[in-house]
Structure 1
Amino acid sequence: MKKQDVSRRSFLKFGVAGLVAVPVAGLGWTTTAAAADRLDPESAEAQALQYTANSETEGQSCSTCLLYNDPTQEEWGPCAVFPGKVVSANGWCTAWVARG
């Protein structure tokens, strides 16, 4: 009976470690992948959210959006709405949310 307790305990330790490791590892992969691929405004995903690389709405641009994952990026940066892509810091789409 003791062996089962140790096995369960080990399983839970590895399970918790795995749950923590997967999202952390994913952040690095997403950022690396996103840095290479600019979002094409003509793509279906961009058009679905009316993405434009140059915002015409004053005060609303990707760099001021809560979904823009790295506000230190001044030209192109990752966006939560378009995983694996980078968007123009001056861009805009209908998913824009004010950074709080």
Structure 2
Amino acid sequence: MSDKQMNKSRRDAVKLMIGGLATVPLLNLVGMAAAHAEDLPHVDPATDATAQALKYVNDAAQADRATNARPGLPPDQQRCAVCQFVLAETGAWRPCSLFPGKLVNENGWCTSWTMKAG
């Protein structure tokens, strides 16, 4: 009976080691993505064609949100920080799926604003 107990604990130890080793590359990817995001350029509404098409502004207070309001929140509360397309939870400048390779201001806004689920 003690032999079976030993085999089970060895199996558990091997599973734990393999699981631990598998998480190391994943943690490296997460760390590299965060570091890479800090190096991205900011969206420039004056020169970026996508920003102009979506009427993106770095300061939502400067946007005509009342005319272009989207459902979900009152126009004065709509900004990039609470948009589903923004890919980060914190930071003054965050990656956005509408502007690949660039960062948007957390207080920005565009006509594609969509309330974050949840």
Q: Do these two structures clear the TM 0.5 threshold for a shared fold by scoring above it?
A: yes
1:64 to 82, 91, 104: 82
- Per-residue deviation at 1:60? 0.4
After TM superposition, the score normalised by the length of structure 1 is 0.64
- Per-residue deviation at 1:45? 1.4
Equivalent position of 2:114 in the other structure: 97
Q: Distance in 2 between matches of 1:84 and 1:55?
A: 21
Unmatched segments (≥5 aa) in structure 1: 1-24
Equivalent position of 2:21 in the other structure: none
Equivalent position of 2:51 in the other structure: 46
- Give the alignment's Cα RMSD to 1 decimal: 2.1
Mapped contact 1:65–1:97 kept (Cα < 8 A): yes
**1:31–1:77: structure 2 CA closer, same or farther, 3 Å change rule?**
same
1:24-71 CA distances to partner (integer Å, 9 max, x unpaired)? x7x887765543210001121110100000113411000000111002
**1:34–1:83: structure 2 CA closer, same or farther, 3 Å change rule?**
farther
After TM superposition, the score normalised by the length of structure 2 is 0.55
Equivalent position of 1:14 in the other structure: none
Instruction: Count the aligned residue pairs.
Output: 75
Q: Distance in 1 between matches of 2:59 and 2:105?
A: 8
Equivalent position of 1:13 in the other structure: none
